[in-house]
Chains A and B, each alone.
Chain A
Amino acid sequence: MSRLAEWARRYGALIRNAWLVDLQYRASIVLWIIWGVTEPTIALGIWWAIAGDGQVGGYARADFARYFFALMLVNQLTIAWDSWYLDRWIREGDLNYRLARPLHPAHEAVADNIAYKARSAGVILVVWLVAALVWPAVRLPLAPGRWALTALAVVLAAAMRFFISFATGLLAFWTTRATAIMGLHGGVALFLSGRIAPLALLPPAVAGVAAVLWFPYMLAFPVNLLTGSVHGTAALLHGFAGQIVWLALWVGAYRLAWTRGLRRYGAVGG
């Protein structure tokens, strides 16, 4: 069997397993989706009130609606809970049997992410389609090229957020507050990745800080691609280049944390 076919078989089994586990907990997944939807809904409600009949920084009410719908979908497609899992695996010793398997534990985490995202983003997509039937403001033009580019940007963003979450979770080798650090990262990302407002509405100084960090590439860039507010080839290339560079840096951080951490790891339990 060729290597590729073997990996396809492995991933097939892992994803099937994750899908079936999720199926058991489908009510919990619905709750996580509700949680993921309320934050953008409330932000949209506030911006809706502020925009009134005019515009805010070039955004009218309909633009805000499209932005936050796209945000819900892209966030659901890129979110990664892995630091919480890793924190538990390391603290409670669940990492031990995962290390004993002939497959790196990260593959299980990736498969989990794929299964979870397929289900939760599918739900959001259906909600969006129903909303678009009755609400013209959130309709997107049929533009296969734009959608294809968005898909690529979403995959890169999902990979980056996965490695951020995984690497931060690995800090549990050294500290008991790894998830708190991930929480702080989320607090900063609230502004710098565009969760609370489109980046164009941030004060220029803050937007400047965001531009040299990874935050815009994990959410704002794919969202802007989907809503059609990335203009020109230069902006497009700049966005993808930023995604690739930061993805590479976070993969490096993950590798460093993994090798150093394992060396330190004195297994618990068993």
Chain B
Amino acid sequence: MERWEGEQIAEWGVRNAEFAMQGRVRTLRIPHSALRILAALWRLNLAEELQYRANFVASVLGTLFWIGTALLTLALFFRHTTRLGGWDYWEVVVLLGVFNALTGVIEAVLRPGIGRLAGEVRSGGLDLVLAKPVDAQGFVSFRRLDVWRLTDFVLGLGLAGYALSRLGRVPGLLQLAAFVVALAAAGIVVYAIWVALMSLAFWFVSVENLSVLFDAVYEGARYPVTAYPGALRFVFVYLLPIAWTTTIPASALTGRLGPEIALAAAAVAALAFVLARLFWRAALRRYTGASG
């Protein structure tokens, strides 16, 4: 069985090399190929996922269960307090909705895409990616779309909207725009954290469960960053910037922070993206391949 795998990989390698030769010519002609490749990959994924409709039901049930446990946890905290880091109950629920929306993006795109990188660096499967005439970071990051997990995104935003109505606050247009920008920035920050963490795989080749590190860190984003003791707060704002992923968008939506925070969020996202890109480049230079 292992020999069969070896032959298969060798065959793929040859085919990919051929594809790469053709592709190089093609990319020169069509500058928008990246978007076309993305569209093609996601269309393929969609067709594949539509075969497994039971997964949709399982995904919705799973999301409802985990939202339920998160709400119960909050209820437990608020049995013993009226404010958490200065936020009242429904404000924290708005934040929880944002958290869940981002979880949807993570589970639908990042974990099945870049989350597999560590294993591929180890097995040498990354060779096949590098042989492709596309940007490796872009391809690795966005090659998959587990569409059912986007239910987390929808249900998360629904929860945030419901909590907002319970707060009795109707956000103005400017506030909504600030929220959309902050949420997009949050997505980019989360993405940058994934890229940076997964790039570690080039140094620590034997570590296949690097994504666990993300789960551990992201756990902290469930609550407003003001609830944590000073040292932890510093880490979450400046070092592992998860404060920017939930606390800031939720604050923009509830009006706790003015709309100008969106500009700061965009700047942080841009910085995080550039740093992650540089780190990825430096990491990739260490890669020598394993299957060749």
Q: A187 vs B72: C-alpha distance in the bound complex, in angstroms?
A: 11
Whether B206 lies near A25 (C-beta < 8 A) is yes
Q: Which residue of A lies closest to B221 (CB)?
A: A42
Q: Which residue of B lies closest to A187 (CB)?
A: B69
**A27 touching B207 in the complex, CB below 8 Å, given contacts A39-B219, A46-B84, A196-B73:** yes
Whether B228 lies near A49 (C-beta < 8 A) is yes
Q: Which residue of A lies closest to B213 (CB)?
A: A31
**A201 touching B216 in the complex, CB below 8 Å, given contacts A27-B204, A46-B223, A180-B62:** no
Interface size class of B (residues with CB under 8 A): 20 to 34
Whether B222 lies near A190 (C-beta < 8 A) is no
Q: Which residue of A lies closest to B205 (CB)?
A: A27
Whether A49 lies near B212 (C-beta < 8 A) is no
Whether B227 lies near A49 (C-beta < 8 A) is yes
Q: A197 vs B81: C-alpha distance in the bound complex, in angstroms?
A: 14
Asked if B168 CB lies within 8 Å of chain A CBs, one says no
Whether A27 lies near B215 (C-beta < 8 A) is no
Whether B219 lies near A28 (C-beta < 8 A) is no
Whether A49 lies near B85 (C-beta < 8 A) is yes
Chain A interface main SS type = helix
**A27 touching B206 in the complex, CB below 8 Å, given contacts A38-B217, A42-B220:** yes
Within B57-73, which residues are at the interface with A (CB < 8 Å)?
58, 62, 65-66, 69, 72-73
Whether A191 lies near B76 (C-beta < 8 A) is yes
In the complex, which residues of chain A have a beta carbon less than 8 angstroms from the beta carbon of B157?
none
- What 1/0 mask marks residues of chain A from 52 to 94 whose CB sits below 8 Å from any chain B CB? 0000110000000000000000000000000000000000000
Whether A45 lies near B232 (C-beta < 8 A) is yes
In the complex, which residues of chain A have a beta carbon less than 8 angstroms from the beta carbon of B62?
180, 183
In the complex, which residues of chain A have a beta carbon less than 8 angstroms from the beta carbon of B234?
none
Choose among A57, A180, A187, A269 the residue with the greatest number of B CB atoms under 10 Å from its CB: A187
Q: A27 vs B208: C-alpha distance in the bound complex, in angstroms?
A: 9
Q: A157 vs B229: C-alpha distance in the bound complex, in angstroms?
A: 32
Asked if B286 CB lies within 8 Å of chain A CBs, one says no
Asked if B126 CB lies within 8 Å of chain A CBs, one says no
Whether A201 lies near B76 (C-beta < 8 A) is yes
Whether B206 lies near A28 (C-beta < 8 A) is yes
Q: A151 vs B72: C-alpha distance in the bound complex, in angstroms?
A: 32
Asked if B79 CB lies within 8 Å of chain A CBs, one says yes
Q: A34 vs B210: C-alpha distance in the bound complex, in angstroms?
A: 11
Q: A34 vs B215: C-alpha distance in the bound complex, in angstroms?
A: 10
Whether A32 lies near B209 (C-beta < 8 A) is yes
- What 1/0 mask marks residues of chain A from 126 to 150 whose CB sits below 8 Å from any chain B CB? 0000000000000000000000000
Whether A38 lies near B220 (C-beta < 8 A) is yes
Asked if A107 CB lies within 8 Å of chain B CBs, one says no
Asked if A121 CB lies within 8 Å of chain B CBs, one says no
In the complex, which residues of chain A have a beta carbon less than 8 angstroms from the beta carbon of B208?
28
Asked if A162 CB lies within 8 Å of chain B CBs, one says no
- What 1/0 mask marks residues of chain A from 238 to 261 whose CB sits below 8 Å from any chain B CB? 000000000000000000000000
Q: A48 vs B206: C-alpha distance in the bound complex, in angstroms?
A: 37
In the complex, which residues of chain B have a beta carbon less than 8 angstroms from the beta carbon of A48?
229
Q: A9 vs B83: C-alpha distance in the bound complex, in angstroms?
A: 58
A200 shortest CB reach to chain B, Å: 11
In the complex, which residues of chain B have a beta carbon less than 8 angstroms from the beta carbon of A27?
204, 206-207
Q: A174 vs B206: C-alpha distance in the bound complex, in angstroms?
A: 33
In the complex, which residues of chain A have a beta carbon less than 8 angstroms from the beta carbon of B212?
31-32, 34-35
Whether A34 lies near B216 (C-beta < 8 A) is yes
A93 shortest CB reach to chain B, Å: 10
Q: Which residue of B lies closest to A36 (CB)?
A: B216
B226 shortest CB reach to chain A, Å: 9
Whether A49 lies near B84 (C-beta < 8 A) is yes
Among B72, B204, B219, B227, the residue within 8 A (CB) of A38 is: B219
Asked if A50 CB lies within 8 Å of chain B CBs, one says yes
Asked if A24 CB lies within 8 Å of chain B CBs, one says yes
- What 1/0 mask marks residues of chain A from 107 to 133 whose CB sits below 8 Å from any chain B CB? 000000000000000000000000000
Within B179-221, which residues are at the interface with A (CB < 8 Å)?
204, 206-210, 212-213, 215-217, 219-220
Whether A180 lies near B58 (C-beta < 8 A) is yes
A176 shortest CB reach to chain B, Å: 10
Asked if A95 CB lies within 8 Å of chain B CBs, one says no
Q: A42 vs B62: C-alpha distance in the bound complex, in angstroms?
A: 23
Asked if B80 CB lies within 8 Å of chain A CBs, one says yes
**Chain B residues with a Cβ under 8 A of chain A:** 1, 58, 62, 65-66, 69, 72-73, 76-77, 79-81, 84-85, 204, 206-210, 212-213, 215-217, 219-220, 222-223, 227-229, 232
> What are 8 pairs between A and B in contact, CB < 8 Å?
A32-B212, A35-B215, A35-B216, A38-B217, A38-B219, A180-B58, A183-B62, A191-B72
Known: A35-B215, A177-B58. 20 other contacts (CB 8 A): A27-B206, A28-B206, A28-B207, A28-B209, A31-B209, A31-B213, A32-B209, A32-B212, A34-B212, A38-B216, A45-B232, A46-B223, A49-B227, A50-B80, A50-B84, A56-B81, A190-B73, A191-B69, A191-B72, A203-B76
Which are the 4 A-B pairs with shortest beta-carbon distances?
A38-B216, A35-B216, A50-B81, A27-B207
